[in-house]
């Protein structure tokens, strides 16, 4: 499936403001970036680096006055996210080193406090993929997905006390529950073609059966058409923009995803 | 200053238990490891990897029954930790990429909630090292250092409501306050030669004047004789041991640091 | 200076052929990628990873039959490459760790055999930038730049016995001579706006005065308008494509660089 | 098998001399470092970093006058190196990213020139482990292992014209031949318990059947008791010491490996 995804951010800075951005998706096993644009208006110097999670991050100083960032990408994305019911739990001693940071508690995923709850949710399920699926089902049926309802980032513990949540919150809870079972889990921020209303989206991946699999507690079934922009331990690692200095208002944010009828040529 | 530092951990496992350890200090700019031992009893297979923060981590499965880990190192450690009153603040756009993860809020350092408090504490101080020093002075005079008083790891927000704290808590608060001023700050776990009573210790480093400097809110003056074992964003990254599966009791933990009268030969 | 740079590769594969490509320039301190395309025809799955030098590499299996790869990028590139006559030599003990691999001899830069020659060339010059400049002047005046004259990659020793060379060869010689003086030096492959005839270009960077500087023995003066695609120790690390299995013919390669009259918008 | 391995290097420097060392083996999948010493006499400041291949490297400035480096390690090493006749060739498109640099030609392994020779040697063997074994058998029966016979490092092409060689040369030839078949191969420098006469040793590893396997053309059968000190593409990456500035003489080098009758305690 070929998608054109774009994100527009508009600011009006009272003073020059340093910025850190994560808005450049990378080609990976499930997506291929055929074309992309990253436009700064007005044009200012920017540099790029790779963070410890492998994300491409952009650094710049936004000038005082109006400033906009517009990114667009044409991406080939898998029609369906891979699913693997029955894929087994990987014993901790057999996990690849690179997955281990995703077993630890993190800013918004206090996995050490979810051992009991996780055990109850997955009771009777095969260890591994089926446990993750049970967690997703639990979240989806217990907490109402309410896009736009959450402004402040809240942690898995806080989500757990609410009856409704945004995608990010639901991912935090899913991650915390997986880690409590010693299943590595990580946050993904990106685009989802079928999302209604359109916005940036967040979901999570869990490592079972020898690879990472996609889970999304906001969706009834596992839609494809996903474009990962950034990976991290939780929302603290994957903010699409981080601004330093006195807080500035985001005047406008516009996200679009359309399906292309043919590959870019 | 030549030190011999050792750490002993004793367990009695009901079942075989996967473990992740950070107990091997690395030679670095302020410490040289001349000799070290890492003894497992009984001897079991173990492997080592480097985590995203550069720490050497050991993985093993502790066998059922009694199990002990004993590490010893002979280290040349700086007599005095470097201090640099007046060292300037580094503008965010000029920070090395590698310092940027240490600007973000993390599990136990909710820096986004400390902007106002940080501004007050550092009012009237030169931006940079002197601000960090003001933060350390504030913590030391406001919160009573109570070694052994804290079992559960608490976050900077929670520390801030208490009148006493352990070294780890005080470091969390210091880190959160520095980051709130856009000064990169990171957690260090290690040994401190003069600590009373002896235990593992935690302090923090802040990036000002173009390098990392040591800060320790538990100490009246900045003693040298430090041995860093692990670096991270906060305590979540630098647990000297992480155990998976059902919780097991640490039967005994013994930390020793003695000064050697001559270099190892 | 805004440039549009493109590279077209055309093949006709007798059998499916695994490929490794380095054709995606990254935004860095001296260039900003505002827009890019990476088109495969026919479209095949491709994945991307970062190599040890930080280059973005693409992996794919070219299908049997005609296959083309076309990449295009709109880049803001510095008008002038930075120059710093007088920038001092950095003592080996003060070099950043990341520069050290670029001090060692490598496949095509046998720096250990150039100590005497390097000493003679730089006699009377200040240690550092001026030595590198003396090396570049020596190469430019001793060896005739003959674009298109070299097909097989040859090493610095072999270049040194010839009277003419391509850009890659001249860079190899420059790198070997710098390293022989304990100055870190690395290969760059990329685009140069003013190159005649247009082709992919190679030059080198040397680390003096605390940063990397651009040197190009093929040019009388140091033109800007450069776009780095890949960095490495020498040509062995930075092939824009590496093909595995029985050798296949490159039917056509076309490189274009044009200057844009206005930033992309 | 528990081993005590040590290496002594003695110099007498006319002037202070910057040094890069690789003499600290790391715990890994096939070896566990239970105890180690790294003694500098006289004691000088030293720092450590990890190179792109994951080796621990030490940096120091050797003072003018006599200077010695003595490293000792107690290591649990596998009794037997794993062997896996029949382990299959991994298609290039399925190789892990991390193995890809070990497919390319390097300083001393001109793999691009060995396609024909490699094909002949492995004719009739199953693709994968058995091809590597055929290469090792070819080298062992064609080239006489002559410890101490080679001072200057020579490349696979040069080795191929000789009738005798040292371990390093034989490894270079084996690596070049494997890579010519699209099998990733890398150099290892380390200790071998049974080596006669005792010295530092070099062998190689090839990636087949989904992991790295040990191959040693100097040995009739694949002895265990190996301790890897450093990994790289060839000898250029894994020098146990690299000295900068005017060449200095190594006055004495002494390598010892003894088998311990019991684990260190």
Same domain as B43, residue B142:
no
C146 CA: distance to closest CA in chain A (Å)? 35
Q: CB-based contact (8 Å) between B36 and chain D?
A: yes
* Yes or no, beta carbons of D244 and C61 under 8 Å apart: no
Same domain as C36, residue C124:
no
Same domain as C167, residue C217:
yes
Same domain as A126, residue A144:
yes
Helices vs. strands in chain C: H and E counts, helices first = 4, 14
In the structure, what pLDDT confidence band is assigned to residue B149 with cuts at 50, 70 and 90?
low
Same domain as C252, residue C222:
no
Q: CB-based contact (8 Å) between D34 and chain B?
A: yes
* Yes or no, beta carbons of B50 and D46 under 8 Å apart: no
Quote the pLDDT of residue C263.
85
ipTM greater than 0.85, yes or no? yes
Same domain as C115, residue C71:
no
Q: How far, in Å, CA of D56 to CA of A141, rounded?
A: 51
Q: Is residue C148 pLDDT above 80, yes or no? A: no
Same domain as B249, residue B212:
no
User: Which residues from D are below 8 Å from B37, CB to CB?
Assistant: 34-35, 264
Residues 6+ apart with CB under 8 A from B72: B4, B5, B6, B36, B37
Same domain as A116, residue A165:
yes
Domains of chain C: total: 2
D179, two tokens: 């890579």
How is D14-79 classified by DSSP, letter by letter?
Answer: SS-EEEEE------BTTEEEEEEEEEEES---EEEEE-TTS-EEEEEEEPSEEEEEEEEEEEEE-S
Q: Is residue D150 pLDDT above 70, yes or no? A: no
- Continuous H helices in chain B: 115-122, 129-142, 156-159, 167-180
pTM of the model: 0.90
Same domain as B153, residue B197:
yes
What mean pLDDT do residues B5-25 have? Answer: 95
Q: CB-based contact (8 Å) between D116 and chain C?
A: no
Q: CB-based contact (8 Å) between C94 and chain D?
A: no
In the structure, what pLDDT confidence band is assigned to residue C150 with cuts at 50, 70 and 90?
low
* Yes or no, beta carbons of A101 and B52 under 8 Å apart: yes
Residues 6+ apart with CB under 8 A from C66: C10, C11, C12
**For residue A12, what are the domain limits?**
2-78+240-260
The answer to whether C17 and C241 have CB atoms below 8 angstroms apart is no
Supply φ then ψ for residue D153, to 5 degrees.
-75, 130
* Domain membership flag for residue C84: no
CATH of the domain at D173: 3.10.620.30
What mean pLDDT do residues C184-204 have? Answer: 95
* Domain membership flag for residue D43: yes
* Domain membership flag for residue B161: yes
A58-83 confidence digits (pLDDT tens) = 999 999 999 999 999 999 998 888 89
Same domain as B183, residue B97:
yes
Same domain as B250, residue B228:
no
Q: CB-based contact (8 Å) between D98 and chain B?
A: no
Q: How far, in Å, CA of A234 to CA of A128, rounded?
A: 21
User: C187: how many CB neighbours lie within 10 A of its CB?
Assistant: 27
In the structure, what pLDDT confidence band is assigned to residue B80 with cuts at 50, 70 and 90?
confident
Same domain as A221, residue A256:
no
A109-147 confidence digits (pLDDT tens) = 989 889 999 999 999 999 999 999 999 999 999 999 998
User: B85: how many CB neighbours lie within 10 A of its CB?
Assistant: 10
Quote the pLDDT of residue C45.
86
* Domain membership flag for residue C85: no
* Domain membership flag for residue A85: no
| Residue of B93, B41, B183 whose CA lies nearest to A21 | B93
The DSSP 8-state label assigned to residue B249 in this structure reads: -
What percentage of chain C carries pLDDT values higher than 90?
Answer: 73
The answer to whether A127 and A136 have CB atoms below 8 angstroms apart is no
User: Which residues from C are below 8 Å from D59, CB to CB?
Assistant: 93, 97, 100
| Residue of B163, B156, B169 whose CA lies nearest to B201 | B169
Strand ranges (DSSP E) for C24-109? 31-41, 46-50, 56-62, 65-77
CATH of the domain at A64: 2.60.40.2250
The answer to whether C61 and C17 have CB atoms below 8 angstroms apart is yes
Who among A60, A107, A245 is closest to B107 (CB)?
Answer: A107
Strand ranges (DSSP E) for chain B? 2-13, 17-21, 31-41, 46-50, 56-62, 65-77, 144-145, 164-165, 185-192, 201-208, 211-215, 226-232, 241-243, 250-259
Residues 6+ apart with CB under 8 A from C36: A35, A36, C24, C25, C71, C72, C73, C74
Quote the pLDDT of residue B139.
97
Q: How far, in Å, CA of B39 to CA of B124, rounded?
A: 51
Helix H or strand E segment including B181: none
Helices vs. strands in chain A: H and E counts, helices first = 4, 14
In the structure, what pLDDT confidence band is assigned to residue A150 with cuts at 50, 70 and 90?
low
* Domain membership flag for residue C158: yes
* Domain membership flag for residue A87: no
D46 CA: distance to closest CA in chain B (Å)? 6
């Amino acid at each position: 499936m070929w998608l054109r995804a774009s994100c527009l951010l508009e600011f009006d800075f009272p003073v020059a403001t340093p910025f850190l951005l994560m808005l450049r998706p990378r080609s990976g096993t499930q997506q291929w970036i055929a074309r992309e644009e990253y436009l700064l208006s007005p044009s200012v110097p920017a540099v790029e680096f790779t963070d410890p999670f492998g994300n491409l991050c952009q650094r710049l100083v936004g000038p005082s006055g109006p400033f906009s960032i517009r990114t667009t990408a044409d991406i080939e994305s898998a029609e369906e996210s891979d699913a693997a019911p029955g894929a087994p739990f990987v014993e901790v001693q057999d996990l690849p080193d690179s997955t281990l940071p995703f077993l630890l508690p993190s800013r918004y995923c206090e996995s050490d406090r979810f051992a009991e709850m996780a055990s109850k949710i997955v009771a009777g399920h095969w260890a591994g993929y089926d446990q993750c699926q049970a967690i997703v089902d639990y979240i989806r049926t217990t907490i109402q997905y309410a896009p736009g309802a959450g402004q402040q980032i809240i942690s898995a513990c806080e989500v757990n006390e609410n009856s409704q949540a945004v995608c990010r919150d639901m991912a935090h809870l899913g991650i915390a529950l997986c880690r409590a079972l010693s299943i590595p889990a990580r946050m993904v921020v990106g685009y989802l073609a079928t999302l209604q209303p359109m916005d940036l989206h967040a979901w999570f991946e869990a490592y079972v059966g020898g690879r990472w699999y996609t889970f999304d507690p906001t969706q009834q079934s596992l839609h494809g058409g996903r474009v990962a922009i950034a990976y991290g331990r939780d929302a603290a690692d994957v903010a699409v923009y981080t601004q330093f200095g006195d807080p500035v208002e985001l005047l406008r944010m516009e996200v679009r995803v359309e399906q292309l009828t043919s590959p870019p040529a």
